[in-house]
Amino acid sequence: MNQNKPIILLIYTGGTIGMIKNPVTASLEAFNFDHLLKNIPELKILDCEIQTISFNEPIDSSNMHPKYWVQMVEIIEQYYQNYDGFVILHGSDTMSYSASALSFMLENLQKPVIFTGSQLPIGDLRTDAKENLITSIQMASLRNGKDPMIKEVGLYFEYKLYRGNRTTKINADHFEAFESLNYPMLAESGVHLKVNKEYLFQPENKDLVVHKNFNTNVAIIKLFPGISEYSLSCFLNNPSIKGIILETYGAGNATTESWFVDLLVKAINSGVHMINVTQCSGGSVAMGQYATSETLRKIGLISGFDITTEAAITKLMFLLGKNFDSKEFKTNFETSLRGEMS
């Protein structure tokens, strides 16, 4: 670690922040990362040293896949000792999924990994990219004595730093594109950077452990009034599905119709891990609070408490990659591993 200025590694994966309009098709396409840096000469006056690395082929984050999460953590793993912090430039569309996935993959993380991106390309006159990028780098450079101040995966957007695995993209147009409804922001950028130290994750002081296995034989099912036995059984009777995030109503409630309960029991008995997550943007599952969720508790659904769907699906793929038996799986899912649940 540099004793004077922090050294930050900027990892460019793609997204609007580094895109440019194709003059022929008028659609946004990724462009060379060097252009991105040329567009922000301000980076040179920051009180840290910045080095960069880019995906060979930057992607729109709608093409995100666990193989790219592995690519990101392998960069962090390779350069972990050489840098004080990491800033990942990423499309906003799936940023909350990636931030959640990386939080699970990087156990005992002792350095900041900050995701950021933008709603408008860096070259646009009214771009939000500059502020997001510059302040993310400043957040990643913050220190507590000799130690990095932030020791977790964060997501910085429009003046706010959130815990990454607590975020959801809530707006496709506004600069304020993310929310963290169940956990307070970690820091805010105003005239000064205000860090809410009491909310920062405190990892155990152990060596970094990197996890790279995901099992993608999973599904997210959102309940709606009128959901049919036929459509639900397509998922629940499918032997390749190993885990399901069931997005239920309110505090974890679902229909008590017998065909529905029978389908769930059959799937759970055949070894499918089924997680109860609320489809509300904020608040928590509390199975048993209503009669309409008591059945779900009795038949063995796992509670996602106040986890986001993004964190739930990545946690599901991550834990399935560990081949736990069903009891271990349930205990691990219902335990907050990286501050993703209250």
The residue among 16 and 165 lying less far from ligand ASP, judged by its C-beta, is 16
Using CA atoms, how far apart are residues 8 and 159, in angstroms rounded to an integer?
Answer: 20
Taking CB atoms, the residue at the shortest distance from ligand ASP is 91
Residues in the chain, total: 342
Residue 58 interacting with ligand ASP (CB under 6 A): no
Smallest CA-to-CA distance from 182 within 9, 318, 311 is with: 311
Kindly report the number of other CB atoms within 10 A of residue 201's CB atom.
18
- Per the annotation, the verdict on 167 as an active-site residue is no
Q: DSSP for 147-176?
A: EES--SEEEEETTEEEEGGG-EE--SSSS-
Residue 303 interacting with ligand ASP (CB under 6 A): no
Residue 15 interacting with ligand ASP (CB under 6 A): yes
The residue among 172 and 291 lying less far from ligand ASP, judged by its C-beta, is 172
Compute the least distance from the CB of residue 330 to ligand ASP, in Å. Answer: 33
Contacts of 312 (CB under 8 A, 6+ apart): 245, 275, 277, 304
Buried b (16+ CB within 10 A) or exposed e, 314-335: bbbbbbbbeeeeeeebbeebee
The catalytic residue among 13, 16, 135, 167 is 16
Compute the least distance from the CB of residue 36 to ligand ASP, in Å. Answer: 13
Compute the least distance from the CB of residue 95 to ligand ASP, in Å. Answer: 7
The residue among 30 and 186 lying less far from ligand ASP, judged by its C-beta, is 30
Residue from the set 49, 60, 294, 334 that interacts with ligand ASP by CB under 6 A: 60
Residue from the set 93, 152, 310, 340 that interacts with ligand ASP by CB under 6 A: 93
Q: So which residues are the catalytic ones?
A: 16
Residues in touch with ligand ASP (CB under 6 A): 14-16, 60-62, 91-93, 117, 119
